[in-house]
Structure 1
Amino acid sequence: MDVITGWLYNGPLQRAKYEDFSTIDWIYDNTKARHYKNDLRMHARNAGWRGRLELLVDASKSWVILLCVGVTMGVVATCISVSSQWLVDIKGGYCRTGFYLNRRFCCWNSEDVCVDWVTWSEALHVRWHWLEWLLQFLVFLADAILFAGISTFLVTEYAPYAAGQGIAEIKTIMSGFMMRRFLGLRTLVVKGVGVVLSVASGLSLGKEGTMVHISCCLGNIYTRVFSKIRNNEVKRRELLSAASAAGISAAFGAPIAGVLFSLEQVSYYFPAKTMWRSLFCATVTAVTLKFLNPFRNGKMVPFQTTYDRVWDHFELWFFVLIGMICGVVGMLQNQLALFLMELRQRSAIKNFARGEVLVVALATAVISYPSVYLRADMVTLVSNLFTECTGQEISGLCSREDRAGNIVALLFTSVLRVLLTSVACGLAVPAGMFTPSMATGASIGRALGMVIQALYENYPTWRLFSACRPDVPCITPGVYALVGAAAMLASTTRMTVTVVVIMFELTDALIYVLPIMLAVTVSKSLADLFGKDGYFEGIIHLNGYPFLSMDQEYVLQGSSNELMVQASEMAVITTTGETLESVANLLRQYSYGGFPVIKSRATMSVSGYISRSDLSMVVERALASSVYTYSSPCCFSRDIVEPLEDILHQAVDFRPWVDPTPLTINHGTDINLVAEAFRQLGVRYVLVTHHGSLLGIITKKDIIKLTERAPKRVYAQSALSSYHQLLEYDDKNLSTFCSLLCSFFFTFVDVPYSSLLLNLVHLYFCQAEISQC
Structure 2
Amino acid sequence: MLSIEETHLSNKMITESQEKDQIFKVNPSKPSKANFILTDLFTNYDQVCTPTPEFKLQSRGIFKGSSMLNPLIWISLIILGLLTAFIGVSIDYLSQKLLEARYYLSSSESKIGNFFIWVIYSMFFALMAASTGKFISTDAEGSGIPEVKSILSGVHISKYLSISTLSAKIAGLIAGCAAGLSIGKEGPFVHISVIIANKITKLRFIRTMPNSITIRHQILGASVACGVAAAFGAPIGGVLFSIEVTTTYYVVSNLWKGIFCSIWCMIGFTIFHLSEITDLIYLTKFEPISFNFEIFAFALLGIICGLVGASFVYTTSKLIFLRINMAYPRIHSRFRYTLLIAAVCAIVNYTAPFLQLSDKTIINQMFRSEKLSSYEQLYWSNPSTLFNLTLYVILKLSMTALSISCQIPCGFVAPIFTGGAALGRLFGYIVDMILGTEHKGIYAVVGAACLVSSVTHTLSIAVIVFELTGQINHILPMMIGVLISYSVSSSITMSMYNVILHLKQLPYIPLIKPSALYSKHVLDLSSAKTSLTQSTNLREISLIISRSNEYAKIPIIDEENYLIGEISIQSLKKIIVENYAMNAASMTNTDKDFLDKHLSPLLITNDSYIETWDKDSESSNVTNFLDGEIVIDNDLIDFAPLSVPENLSLIKVQFMFIMMGLIQVYVVSKGKLVGVISRESFTKKQ
Deviations 1:211-235 (A, max 9, x none): 2222222211212121146972332
- Structure 2: distance between partners of 1:253 and 1:163: 24
CA distance in 2 between partners of 1:207 and 1:582 (Å): 51
Partners in 2 of 1:81 and 1:307 — Cα distance? 27
User: Does the 8 Å CA contact 1:25/1:684 hold for their aligned counterparts?
Assistant: no
Among 337, 352, 369, which residue is 1:371 paired with? 352
Distance 2:234 2:526 in 1: 48
**Helix, strand or coil for the counterpart of 1:541?**
helix
Deviation of the 1:504 alpha carbon: 0.4
Residue identity in the other structure for 1:610: I
Q: For 1:660-681, what per-residue CA distance to the aligned partner results, in whole angstroms no more than 9, with x for missing partners?
A: 2211112222222222111111
**What is residue 626 of structure 1 aligned with on the other side?**
583
Q: Deviations over 1:554-591 (max 9, x none)?
A: 6412353541446xx43321121x21122223434565
For residues 423 and 491 of structure 1, what CA distance do their matches in structure 2 show?
Answer: 19
SS state at 2:674 partner? strand
Shift of 1:621: 5.1
Letter in 2 for 1:575: Q
CA distance in 2, matches of 1:361, 1:654: 62
CA contact (8 A) 1:564 1:688 kept: no
In the alignment, what sits opposite 2:107?
A: 120
Matched, 1:137 2:115: yes
Partner of 2:611: none
Segment drifting more, 547-556 vs 424-433: 547-556
Q: Kindly tell me: are residues 562 and 408 of structure 1, through their superposed partners in 2, closer, same or farther at Cα, counting changes over 3 Å?
A: same
- Secondary structure of 1:697's partner? strand
Q: CA–CA distance in 1 between the matches of 2:570 and 2:658?
A: 23
> Are 1:77 and 1:250, in contact at CA under 8 Å, matched by a contact in 2?
yes
Partner of 2:222: 242
Cα separation, 1, equivalents of 2:532 and 2:502: 34
- Measured in 2, the distance between the counterparts of 1:397 and 1:519 equals 31
Matches for 1:245-264 after TM superposition, within 5 Å? 245-264=225-244
Tell me if 1:28 matches 2:46: yes
Structure 1 residue 403, shift from structure 2 partner: 7.6
Structure 2: 5+ residue runs without aligned partners? Answer: 1-41, 58-66, 596-627
Describe the shift of the 1:681–1:494 C-alpha distance in structure 2 as closer, same or farther (beyond 3 A): same
User: 1:376-525 alignment to 2 at 5 Å?
Assistant: 376-389=357-370, 392-393=373-374, 395-396=376-377, 402=381, 405-455=384-434, 464-465=435-436, 474-496=437-459, 498-525=460-487
Instruction: Quickly say closer, same or farther: Cα 1:480–1:582, change in 2 above 3 A.
Output: same
CA distance in 1, matches of 2:512, 2:370: 41
- 1:193 corresponds, among 171, 177, 192, to 171
Shift of 1:657: 4.0
Distance 1:214 1:302 in 2: 20
**Secondary structure of the corresponding residue to residue 186 of structure 1:** helix
**Aligned residue in 2 for 1:754:** none
Match in the other structure for 1:77: 88
Q: How does 1:218-297 map to 2 (within 5 A)?
A: 218-225=196-203, 226-228=206-208, 232-267=212-247, 270-296=250-276
2:583 match: secondary structure: coil
CA shift, 1:141, in A, is 0.8
Q: CA deviation at 1:158?
A: 0.9
Kindly state the Cα deviation for residue 242 of structure 1 after the two structures are TM-superposed: 1.1
The answer to whether the 8 A contact 1:563-1:698 is kept is no
CA distance in 1, matches of 2:495, 2:279: 26
Alignment of 1:63-212 (within 5 A): 63-93=74-104, 120-121=107-108, 126=109, 132-212=110-190
1:546 Cα shift? Answer: 2.3
Q: Deviations over 1:69-114 (max 9, x none)?
A: 11122222222222211111211117xxxxxxxxxxxxxxxxxxxx
AA in 2 matched with 1:80: I
Aligned to 2:490: 528
Letter in 2 for 1:585: L
Paired with 1:561 and 1:525, the residues of 2 have a C-alpha distance of 33
Residues 187-225 of structure 1 show CA distances to partners (whole Å, capped at 9, x for unaligned) of 223222221220121112112332222222221121212
Does the Cα contact within 8 Å between 2:353 and 2:379 map onto a contact in 1? no
Q: Which moved more, 1:547-556 or 1:235-244?
A: 547-556
Distance 2:332 2:119 in 1: 25
Amino acid in structure 2 at the alignment position of 1:274? N
Instruction: Give the Cα–Cα distance (whole angstroms) in 1 for the partners of residues 331 and 546 of structure 2.
Output: 33
Picking from 642, 664, 683, the partner of 2:643 is 664
Secondary structure in structure 2 of the residue aligned to 1:326: helix
Amino acid at match of 1:75: F
Taking the aligned partners of 2:570 and 2:43, their CA distance within structure 1 comes to 12
SS at match of 2:304: helix
Matched, 1:677 2:661: no
What corresponds to 1:107 in structure 2? none
Paired residue for 2:532?
Answer: 573
| SS in structure 2 at match of 1:683 | coil
> Counterparts of 1:372 and 1:384 in 2: how far apart (Å)?
15
* Equivalent residue letter for 1:368: N
Partner SS, residue 564 of structure 2: strand
Change in Cα spacing, 1:657 to 1:333, as seen in structure 2 (3 Å) is farther
Aligned letter for 2:449? A
TM-score normalised according to structure 2 size: 0.80
Q: What one-letter code is carried by the residue in structure 2 that aligns with 1:668? A: N
Q: Structure 2 CA distance, aligned partners of 1:502 and 1:705?
A: 36
**What are structure 1's unaligned runs of at least 5 residues?**
1-23, 45-54, 95-118, 127-131, 456-463, 466-473, 633-648, 709-773
3-state SS in 1 of match to 2:555:
strand
Give, in angstroms, the shift of residue 120 of structure 1: 3.2
Could you tell me how far apart the structure 1 residues matched to 2:263 and 2:548 are? Answer: 50
Match of 1:343 in 2: 322
What is the aligned partner in structure 2 of residue 538 from structure 1? Answer: 499
Contact 1:30 1:234 in 2 (8 A): no
Aligned partner letter, 1:481: A
Where 1:182 maps in the other structure, the secondary structure is coil
Task: For 1:62 and 1:280, locate their aligned partners in 2 and report how far apart those are by CA, in whole Å.
Answer: 11
- Three-state SS of the structure 2 residue aligned to 1:369 is helix
Change (3 A) 1:285 1:571: closer
Instruction: Verify the 8 A CA contact 1:483 1:516 in the aligned structure 2.
Output: yes
Q: 2:193 aligns with which of 208, 212, 215?
A: 215
1:593 and 2:571 equivalent? no
**Corresponding letter in the other structure for 1:187:** T
- State whether structure 2 residue 512 is matched by structure 1 residue 583: no
Query: Quick one: distance in 2 between partners of 1:351 and 1:657?
Result: 51
**For 1:443-491, what per-residue CA distance to the aligned partner results, in whole angstroms no more than 9, with x for missing partners?**
2111121223344xxxxxxxx55xxxxxxxx423222211111000000
Give the Cα–Cα distance (whole angstroms) in 1 for the partners of residues 471 and 463 of structure 2: 11
Hey, what does 2:333 align to over in structure 1?
352
Q: Provide Cα deviations, 1:415-442, integer angstroms capped at 9, x if missing partner.
A: 2222222222132211010012112211
C-alpha displacement at 1:269, in angstroms?
5.3
Displacement of 1:615: 2.9
Cα deviation, 1:725-748, whole Å, max 9, x if unaligned, reads xxxxxxxxxxxxxxxxxxxxxxxx
**What letter matches 1:389 in structure 2?**
E
Deviation at 1:511, TM superposition (A): 0.6
Deviations 1:134-188 (A, max 9, x none): 2222221121011111122123211221111101111111111112332232222
Measure how far apart 1:656 and its partner are.
4.3
| C-alpha distance in 1 between matches for 2:477 and 2:513 | 27
1:693 equivalent in alignment to 2:651: no
Are the equivalent residues in 1 in contact too, given 2:550–2:680 (CA < 8 A)?
no
Match of 1:311 in 2: 289
Letter of the 2:340 partner, please give it: V
In structure 2, C-alpha distance between the alignment counterparts of 1:364 and 1:77, rounded to whole Å: 25
* Residue 358 (structure 1) shift: 1.5
Tell me the equivalent position of 1:97. Answer: none
SS at match of 1:148: helix
